[in-house]
Amino acid sequence: MTTEPTPGAHVLSLARQRVAAREQRDWTLADQLREQIAAAGWLVRDTSDPEGFELAPRPAFPVAARLDDLPDLRAPGAPTRRVGVGLLIEGWPADLREAVEALMVHAPSDLVVVGLDAGDVDGAGQVLHELAGAHPGRVEEWHVAGTVAQGAGWGQARNALLALDPSRVHVVMETSTVLDGDAITPLLAAMDDPTSAAASGRTVVGAGWRGVDVDLSDRWRRFVDAGPGEVDALLGYLAAFDAAAVRAVAGFASAARFYRNADIEMSLALRAAGGTLVVPAEELPVHQARHRGYHDSDPEVRERESRRTYGRILASFRGHPEILAPRP
């Protein structure tokens, strides 16, 4: 029987000193103490409990302290590869393994999975590390110490994933989405099909599995499921975007701390910039397992942050029907 390692008195002292440094807003000292803790073989994570921190053994893979410490790998010129899938990993390691293994079987062979593990929750970071080792060149691993809730939030984490992917097309996907066949090639084909934009004459900058339209009769107070064709917004379960177009609108809203409605917010920004979003005519071979991000999240946080994002949508886009997909 093995026992979990426990931090010694020296490491605990460093962690408490770091809490005091953060309370005094001495970020330089706090970072130095984090590095000392890491050198001693531990990772420190900020918490809201009375102690103010938790310690975990440092894993065998590199872990960035913050999202800001991750590199920007986008090429200044032409993209260096065709398509990447960005996975934001917030736990649920079994879901991660199933989603990635399905991509390895069904997605085009030149597709690269870019995984960003936030906090190694329930060992999901270790699973990502194992997948990267099993699929070299096809699965890339990145790790940050804090969870999304403890860090900058969902929008900034998603933007960090965008910066880690030097592909022409960046696919936003959730680990609850599982491919049953090649659902990526139809999205790429829809983006490259000149007839996709025939109704509006705009450039197609995104194609997704599911889309929604604004309910104009209800003064933008809700969105309704849309069928195939041009749509107002794509949902982030599985959606491919032109990376340059996303960069041009500054990506996801940095204020989005929770996923819900943030994909719609970025979609409308793309449409406002002159882009078109489409759902392919064919039903894609993909299904969604339990949507952990929704069903297993704190209901109070979920509703509060979703309302904040929806409020930004209304403030920025309501009253501008000209940006929406053509209506019958």
The two structure tokens encoding residue 124: 């999901």
Instruction: Measure the CA dihedral 269/174/83/243, to 10°.
Output: 20
Segment 92-101, tens digit of pLDDT:
999 999 999 9
Global pTM?
0.85
Q: What are phi and psi of 156, to 5 degrees?
A: -70, -35
Residue-level pLDDT at 1: 45
Q: Does domain 69-323 have CATH number 3.30.470.10?
A: no
Q: Nearest 5°: CA angle at 213, between 241 and 168?
A: 5
Beta bridge partners of 229: 279
Domain map (residue ranges) of the chain: 9-58, 69-323
Q: Is the dihedral of CA 124, 129, 240, 167 positive or negative?
A: positive
Residue-level pLDDT at 197: 57
The 3-state DSSP class for residue 91 equals coil
Whether 201 shows a pLDDT value over 90: the answer reads no
pLDDT bin (cut points 50, 70, 90) of residue 200 is low
Residue-level pLDDT at 250: 95
Element (H, E) at 139: strand 139-144
Q: Nearest 5°: CA angle at 189, between 278 and 225?
A: 25
The two structure tokens encoding residue 254: 């940095």
Residue-level pLDDT at 42: 85
Q: How far is CA 6 from the centre of its chain?
A: 33
Instruction: Measure the CA dihedral 115/117/120/124, to 10°.
Output: -30
Average pLDDT score, the chain: 91
* Lowest mean per-residue pLDDT among 1-10, 177-186, 236-245: 1-10
Q: Nearest 5°: CA angle at 268, between 321 and 290?
A: 125
Mean predicted confidence (pLDDT) in 141-168: 90
pLDDT bin (cut points 50, 70, 90) of residue 128 is very high
Whether 198 shows a pLDDT value over 60: the answer reads no
In the sheet with 167-173, reading across from the earlier edge strand, the strands are 139-144, 112-118, 81-89, 167-173, 238-242, 203-208, 275-279, 229-231
